[in-house]
Amino acid sequence: MGVTLVVLELCAGLVLHIRAGEKRDLVAVTEEATKTVEPLKKELTNTLRDMTKVERNIVLAKQLRETHRWSRLLSALAQTTPQDIVLNSIATDPPRWAKPKRNTVATRKPAKAGSSSSQVDAHAAPRPAIQGILVRGHAASHEGLSVFMTMLHASSVFSAIDLRQMRSDQLEKQETVSFELRGQW
């Protein structure tokens, strides 16, 4: 019986020794994996932070594109203007305009000297809303001007492009075609 106990203790010790060795190996592998994962976690965190910044910039860019019609307009003009076209000016049509208002509100006249109240002016002429732009410039040829007008119309920024004025001109000792276009929204 004593021998059996000794044999059992030896077997148990041997099994525990083998298990302890496996555990040490697993702990070493886990520590190594943890050391490898830490830089990856930091890199992933940085990547997620960068991704959040890019997403925020995309949202801001979309808001700019939606709220800044002028940015889209200038971008379309830049993309459609051929090399043989020189733009001299871009102006709103009409020159003095106001944003369209949903409700018409009567304007107030300032109070006269010595008076404590202001008067409502129901007959004040409101500024008209912007209807388009006027583009003035020079083209090397009639064909170049025609291409420019076609490209502007194809850009879908304007509902119509009208040639308001065109004449042959001299620009730096070269024959050119000066023009004025009206782009209508």
Q: What is the pLDDT of residues 34-50, one digit of tens each?
A: 888 898 899 999 999 99
Q: How far apart are CA 4 and CA 6, in angstroms?
A: 5
Query: Burial code of 16-27, b = ≥16 C-beta within 10 A, e = fewer?
Result: eeeeeeeeeeee
Q: How far apart are CA 94 and CA 37, in angstroms?
A: 64
Instruction: Specify the pLDDT at position 143.
Output: 93
- Give the pLDDT band (50/70/90) at residue 51: very high
Residue 173, burial from CB neighbour count under 10 angstroms (0-12, 13-18, 19+): exposed
- Give the pLDDT band (50/70/90) at residue 142: very high
Residue 87, burial from CB neighbour count under 10 angstroms (0-12, 13-18, 19+): middle
Amino acid at position 111, single letter: A
Q: What is the pTM of this model?
A: 0.48
The stretch 118-126 carries a mean pLDDT of 54
Query: Is residue 94 reached through a cis peptide bond, with omega within 30 degrees of 0 on the bond before it?
Result: yes
% residues pLDDT > 90 (the chain): 28
Q: How far apart are CA 125 and CA 94, in angstroms?
A: 14
Instruction: Specify the pLDDT at position 125.
Output: 59
Q: Which residue has the higher pLDDT, 93 or 147?
A: 147
Instruction: Specify the pLDDT at position 104.
Output: 46
The stretch 51-64 carries a mean pLDDT of 85
- What is the residue whose two structure tokens read 């300032």? 110
Phi-psi region of 173 (alpha: psi -120 to 50; beta: other; left: phi over 0): left
Residue 101 has pLDDT above 70, yes or no: no
The stretch 113-140 carries a mean pLDDT of 69
